[in-house]
Amino acid sequence: MPKTTKAKKKVSKKIKTPKKVKVVKAKEIAKGPIKISKTYIPKDTEKYMCEKHKVFFRMKLQEWKKELIKSNNEALYNGSMDDNSISADIVDQASSYTDKNVEMKAINRQIKLISEIDKALARIREDTYGYCLDTAEPIGLKRLMARPVAKYTIAAQEKHEKDEKVHADD
């Protein structure tokens, strides 16, 4: 019997207990940010709102925001430069006032658009970008390419606009 005990001990020493296996999520596997070329265009053949799509739209939105801010800053700077040229002619003053009013409305629209861009960027971070806020259906790549800040599918957008018109008439 002593021989079998020694054999069992040798066998037990050879068999190693498995170490704990760590379950790794897909995001942990990808080391570093996903890089896409500047000429990349999302395709319908790719999985909808895959990481490449999100990176593409994030870059597109950030570039658009940067352009709007630059444009607003230039408009405000140039508008402040014109304040010094006050004309004695009342028609020229009225024309200048109208021009400034139109310019300020454009700047206000761009400020609202910048806010929409910020909301779209937040939706990308939350993984809800590209999906309708009403129906949770995919908005579609073509629509997002045309209007990256889109929040609704075309059908849901039409419904919202119809509802707004009904309430505006009240």
Domain 42-169, classified CATH 1.20.120.910, yes or no = yes
pTM of the model: 0.71
Q: Tell me the domain boundaries of the chain.
A: 42-169
**Residue 136: left if φ>0, alpha if ψ -120 to 50, beta else—which one?**
left
Split the chain (170 residues) into runs of 10 and give each run's mean pLDDT: 52 50 45 80 93 95 96 82 65 85 93 97 96 96 96 95 79
| Alpha-carbon dihedral angle through residues 113, 116, 117, 119, given to the nearest 10 degrees | 160
pLDDT (0 to 100) of residue 51: 94
